[in-house]
Structure 1
Amino acid sequence: MASASRLLPPFPPPAAPTSRHTTLRAVPRSCSLAIPSLRCRASAPAAVDAGAPLLLEDRAGAVSIREFVTLDELHAAVRLRVRTFYEYARGTVGAEDHRKGLAEREYEALQNRISGNMINFRRVSCINGTVPMLPSLMSAEELCSTCKFVEDGEERIVVGSLDLNQCLWLPDELTGKRPGVTESSHTRAYLSNVCVAKELQRCGLGYALVDKSKKLARQWA
């Protein structure tokens, strides 16, 4: 399904993007979802295998799951998405320029959605998972350099991101009767651009991002 919220390539990318949209329905406040705790424990950089997921130190408050705060953080989130959704063969000519073009276009499109300049989007929020520049991340040099931003003098890395969208209709959806949903409903929401850095997958970050988006969606309802 094509979507206005997907990354918009300036020309056909070397590899097809992998992006999914998930529709959220109104959830009763009494319902709850068990979210596993983020697994954070000490790990020396030298002990991290190139193909193994990284582990975060056991540092209180190391992982922050929240709505974006600064434009610098928003830029970093967009760069993480481009890094996650598009892969290039080693030595691909023009790959870096293509990444920059994708990031610029998605950043502009995301700003338009958040600021309310796109008519069918009533409200949009970018939710990120960020961590400080920890010693255990030193082995992920490319992730740190690509997805880094500075906040209050501290260097942080965006390691997970998604968009929560409240809209009048889903982009390119088929029109018609939908069981249980009235045409006047303005509480529909869906998730887009859901991603977690490959170095930190299977650590509970995805669950935490979705849980945060559900709580925010209930506040919007």
Structure 2
Amino acid sequence: MAILPFSFSPTSSSSLHFLPPLPKSITLSPPSSNLPYSKFSPSRRLFTLSVSSPDVCDAPQQHLIVDKSALIVDEAVSEEHLWAAASLRIRTFNEFKDDSFGIEDHKRYLAEREFEALKERVAGKREGFRRVSCINASLPLSHLSALSGDLCTTCKLSDDGGFRVVVGTLDLNQCLRLPDEVTGMRPQGIGSDFARAYLSNVCVAKELHRNGLGYALVSKAKSVAAEWGITDLYVHVAVDNESAKNLYMKSGFTYESEEPAWQARFSNRPRRIILWYGLPNPHNL
């Protein structure tokens, strides 16, 4: 089993995809020339796209040891960062047959839907969530010259005249519960919805596994959660995803409970456990 992603999908562990209802017509205008422009008709599932990619990593795919000094892990503050995160999630959480007809158009369609849903969550427009932050890990494009062009092209963003590539991402969700997930038990009582948060959509580019990027993302999420006043942080993991469980245990998470087998069968997904991490209570400092 792969080291990552740690996401709720048919073959992974902790994800949260909120897809808003599609209107009859959507026209996306990207925040920069690095994002694709597309016009989508849901009745026909057709796209017209053009992608600007002045720099492309086109060497054969291989696993790479990264220079940690060049790694930036921070909250996404622009639509370009959100687009790169959405693209990485679609690339990571789905399996595609490269010889399928129209596969690139289909990938972009999925990325655009996740992009719109992610913008909605981060903007505070999702009911039941007080706050959502997308946290990205990125590396300079020049450090990834040995990797495949797919990652460098689809997950690239501009940076002070150069380019960086988003190589890992997650969502930090401040809320009482996640839809269709096991609910954390701590804290309880008045204000519990403001003091509890969940990680979701945790993933790292498959070419860069075993570089500690997942650990760096979780560490940043804990720091942001503490700034929000969160005391109890949760994540869902598939019961058979040992690599994901090892990451979270290394990050200080402990077992709290697990979902019933019938619930997993009903949702057609692997059964999951919920792990808990206790952050210092700011009122006790």
TM > 0.5 fold call = yes
Which residue of the partner structure matches residue 74 of structure 1? 82
Maintained 8 Å contact 1:19/1:85: no
Report how far residue 140 of structure 1 moved. 2.3
AA partner of residue 12 (structure 2) = T
Matched residue count: 181
In structure 2, what is the Cα distance between the partners aligned to 1:214 and 1:171? 22
Which residue of the partner structure matches residue 12 of structure 2? 18
Which residue of the partner structure matches residue 87 of structure 1? 95
Q: So what's the TM-score if we normalise by structure 2? A: 0.57
Render the CA deviation track for 1:139-161: whole Å, top value 9, x for unaligned.
32221011111122120000000
Maintained 8 Å contact 1:130/1:159: yes
Instruction: Tell me how large the CA RMSD over aligned residues is.
Output: 2.8
Render the CA deviation track for 1:50-89: whole Å, top value 9, x for unaligned.
4x4112247x4x1001111321111011100000001112
In structure 2, what is the Cα distance between the partners aligned to 1:163 and 1:135? 25
Report how far residue 213 of structure 1 moved. 0.2
Q: So what's the TM-score if we normalise by structure 1? A: 0.72
Maintained 8 Å contact 1:53/1:200: yes
Within 5 Å, give how 1:189-200 maps onto structure 2. Answer: 189-200=197-208
Which residue of the partner structure matches residue 138 of structure 2? 130
Q: Which runs of 5+ in 1 are unaligned?
A: 1-5, 8-14, 23-44
Indicate how the Cα distance of structure 1 residues 119 and 134 shifts in structure 2: closer, same or farther if over 3 A, else same. same
Which residue of the partner structure matches residue 124 of structure 2? 116
Is 1:99 the counterpart of 2:107? The answer is: yes
In structure 1, what is the Cα distance between the partners aligned to 2:72 and 2:190? 37
In structure 2, what is the Cα distance between the partners aligned to 1:174 and 1:125? 21
Residue among 155, 163, 168 paired with 1:147:
155
Indicate how the Cα distance of structure 1 residues 169 and 56 shifts in structure 2: closer, same or farther if over 3 A, else same. closer
Render the CA deviation track for 1:174-218: whole Å, top value 9, x for unaligned.
68x947523641211001110000111110000000000011111
Report how far residue 124 of structure 1 moved. 0.4
Maintained 8 Å contact 1:133/1:156: yes
Q: Which has the higher contact order (CA 8 A, sep 6+)?
A: 1
Which residue of the partner structure matches residue 54 of structure 1? 64
In structure 2, what is the Cα distance between the partners aligned to 1:174 and 1:161? 22
In structure 2, what is the Cα distance between the partners aligned to 1:67 and 1:105? 20
**Percent of aligned pairs with the same residue?**
48
AA partner of residue 125 (structure 1) = S
